[in-house]
Structure 1
Amino acid sequence: MKNHIQQQYSHTKRARRHAWNALFALFVLLSYPLLTSCAGKQAETIQGAKDGGIQYAQLLKIEHADSFTICDVMDAWNKGRTLHRYILIPRSSPTPSQCPKGTIVRTPLERAVAFTSVHGSLLCDLGAMKQLCGVCDYDYIMRPELRLAVTNGKLANMGMSTQPDLEKMIASHADALLVSPFQNASYGGIEKLNIPLIECADYMEATPLGRAEWMRFFGLLFGQEATADSLFQIVEKNYTELTATVQKTTTRPTLLIDQKQGGAWYVPGGKSYLGSLYKDAGANYCFADNAESGSVSLSFETVFQKAHAADLWLIKSGGPTDLTYAQLQQDFAPNAQFKAFRERHIWYCNSMKVPYFEEAPFRPDFLLKDFIKIFHPEILPDYQTRYFFPMK
């Protein structure tokens, strides 16, 4: 009897595997046209193409031709090289006979999957949430509209971004996957689905307005070009006007960032997105002279030597309860030796209670305003901070 049950289980398991393989093969066959390049002569430059007017982003180039739009995502790790070229063609138009090599994306996208809450939230701001069919990392999503849509079954929970549910993605008939590229890393099984991978390298931009300007790319993808352009103009205006107010100040408080995690203390490089924000907000960031554009791992001794007398300390973490001075000292006693700790000049952001990660990347004007309030409270006397609050 036991052997019979085992044989029956093995047969069922094999049958399911064969069915899955057949479904996968059929999906690949049917979706193949989505990924083909333009037919005819391949030209790397298009005569008469108009520049897309990208001003701040260094990793995005846009050109408008008569019947399609070229969007080049540049390689952040190999200067001067293109990571991915997309040819955006309206759904209502035939495939042009001549256009450059690249991944064809029919626009506007109608059933995309957002792998991060950052891009999912941006699409809500652009009025394109209904053009999503799924999201990843649901547990990290704070945007109420997205959470409600998943709860109501209008959006599929595709699992973790690092290990998405491939069967759900196939069943959803997604027309694009919004992913974040990493150096020397593959996308695993989703590369075999023959669904266009939209490599969103916005997080690698070194300036706040550079990253925010990527919303114009998403506007093109989702048919919300005018909305994206209008929103970016608001962000740009707010940001530049706020920066101008700081130029009039004569003081520059010194600044320490984050805290020791395990055996290392990670700080933003001086040439990073956040490094630019600290400077624009009028702070003397203790590691501004670091030439890195990403995160830098330092020892506690190195940080203490350079930042023990910093006037202000910003800490960002996520948890069910807010970090306190008592907890910070309990976690690592030497924290109490910093001047900012002794004088109670620590500001804290609990990313599980405020939408820091969802909002700030594309609304750097919001974050800049917080920083200016903290660094130069006299400039914004009536403003209430959005993300950072005095530690208790």
Structure 2
Amino acid sequence: MLRRTFLLAAGASALSACSAPQEELSETQDGEGTPILLRHARYLKLERHDGYVVARLRAPVADQSGGQAKEQEAVLVLAPREGPEPKLPAGLRDAALIRTPVTRIAANAGSDEAYLGQLGVKDRLVAVGGRVSFDDEVRRGVIEGRIGQIGYNWHAPPNLDVLLAARPDVFLMRLSDLAHTPVLDRARRLGLVVAPTFAEDEPTYLGRAEWIRLHGMLTGREAQADRLISQIEARVEALKAAAAARPAVPTLWAYPAGGDRWVATVRGAEQAYLSDAGGRNLLLRPEDPRRWSSETLATEQILPVAEQAQVWIVGDLHAAPPRSTVVEGLSPAFRAGRLFANTGRSNLPANAYDWYQTAFVRPDWVLADFVKALHPDLVDEPFRFLKPVPRGAYR
């Protein structure tokens, strides 16, 4: 499970592209089609042509052994299932053609399961990573053998034999390690239609959520995806505006990792939840595309700011009880019991943790939780992903 944290941290701090939103133009200079406006996503571009849509996917992918990131890209042509095959220009001759709507889908990441679930098409999954989906119906399908197991992206390359048996219309492959690239290439040579997904690599939480528009186009749920992202944007802006009117709350997001070590959120999309919810991260570090969103710190590095923390995100699926620390006595957050964990949507017997699934597609739910933790009177709905932690749990 520690590997999953490592991959998410690496993805959260992947190299960011241009900061301006894509502009909707009447026609690009090179005749590539009409760009579809995306306000937040940086690693996804969509173009509408006569009779089909082109999706361009591009993001840096790191070698998890510690090497440099290398940019990976793919071009997809989405054409209606009914009707003739589109005549494509020479520049798209190597693009993967996908006839839509797809009805059989494979995915090796929980986040892609969540996008499909939010669109109401999870019943089209024929293969997933394994048995730890937070969605009860998907997990039951895997256990009963109706849905194949191809291996999770954070654990191993996909099992091509299972994929070939499942016969998906498209395989949504979360490419989280350069070492898995040869398997992606081999899958294509075997005739599988592969769409590498980079939603988790997006540098902003709204950028991650906006990838639902690609899932909507693939599944024939484009209108539903557009409505959902608009609702998410509106809710996020309302929460940010309400929190911005309040004094910033000194906050820490650091969970114990054993041996007097703490994993602290210091930058990236996760840190943005703190700042957008009206918090002042006491361990804030400058944004750096070459660094992860979290850093491992010794207790001695936590102590100087612990006495300022009014709210503390102190729990995580991977958290271990601290050993011989004195942070409890210093921190007002500990004394007042304003401690939280991001494990609110967990099914521990199934080893299922929705922070790695639905949190990517519903950042409005996540942000509402952080606003409620920092400014309780601004949100009257129950916590979803965050949950209060009893003080005794960390003594």
TM-score by length of 1: 0.77
Contact 1:255/1:311 (CA < 8 Å) preserved in 2?
A: yes
Contact 1:266 1:295 in 2 (8 A): no
Distance in 1 (alpha carbons) for counterparts of 2:29 and 2:41: 21
| Residue 240, structure 1, aligned to residue 237, structure 2 | yes
For each residue in 1:338-357, what CA deviation from the matched residue of structure 2 results, as whole angstroms up to 9, or x when unmatched? Answer: 40334432112325336332
What CA distance in whole angstroms lies between the structure 2 residues aligned with 1:131 and 1:99?
Answer: 33
Could you give the per-residue CA deviations for residues 295-339 of structure 1, whole angstroms, max 9, x where no partner exists? Answer: 2323213333344532111034238xxx8xxx734x453443540
Change (3 A) 1:241 1:258: same
Task: State the SS of the aligned residue for 1:291.
Answer: coil
**SS in structure 1 at match of 2:200:** helix
How far does residue 51 in structure 1 lie from its aligned partner after superposition?
1.6
- Cα distance in 2 for residues equivalent to 1:243 and 1:352: 26
Alignment map for 1:200-219 (pairs within 5 Å): 200-219=197-216
SS in 1 for 2:377: coil
Does residue 68 in structure 1 map to residue 49 in structure 2?
no
Q: 2:142 pairs with 150, 154, 159, which one?
A: 150
Deviation of the 1:255 alpha carbon = 1.2
- Which of the pair has the greater relative contact order for Cα pairs under 8 Å at 6+ separation? 2
In structure 2, the CA distance between the partners of 1:343 and 1:223, relative to structure 1 (3 Å rule), is: same
State the distance in 2 between where 1:368 and 1:171 align. Answer: 40
1:365 aligns with: 364
Deviations 1:43-74 (A, max 9, x none): x9752722211111122111101122111123
Q: How does 1:183-332 map to 2 (within 5 A)?
A: 184-194=178-188, 195-249=192-246, 251-261=247-257, 265-270=262-267, 272-292=268-288, 294-300=292-298, 301-318=300-317, 328-329=321-322, 331-332=323-324
Paired positions, count = 338
Q: Which residue of 2 aligns with 1:336?
A: 328
Q: Which stretches in structure 1 are left out of the alignment for 5+ residues?
A: 1-43
Q: In the alignment, is residue 389 of structure 1 matched against residue 373 of structure 2?
A: no
TM-score with structure 2 setting the length: 0.77
| Matching residue within 139, 161, 171 for 2:165 | 171
Aligned-residue Cα RMSD (Å) equals: 2.8
- AA aligned to 2:355 is Y
Alignment of 1:37-186 (within 5 A): 47=31, 49-76=33-60, 83-92=73-82, 93-98=84-89, 100-101=91-92, 102-139=95-132, 141-161=133-153, 162-182=156-176, 184-186=178-180
CA distance in 1, matches of 2:106, 2:324: 41
Change (3 A) 1:150 1:79: closer
Q: Which moved more, 1:214-223 or 1:88-97?
A: 88-97
Distance 1:352 1:48 in 2: 44
User: Which sits farther off after the overlay, 50-59 or 84-93?
Assistant: 84-93
Unaligned runs of 5+ in 2: 1-27, 62-67, 348-352, 391-395
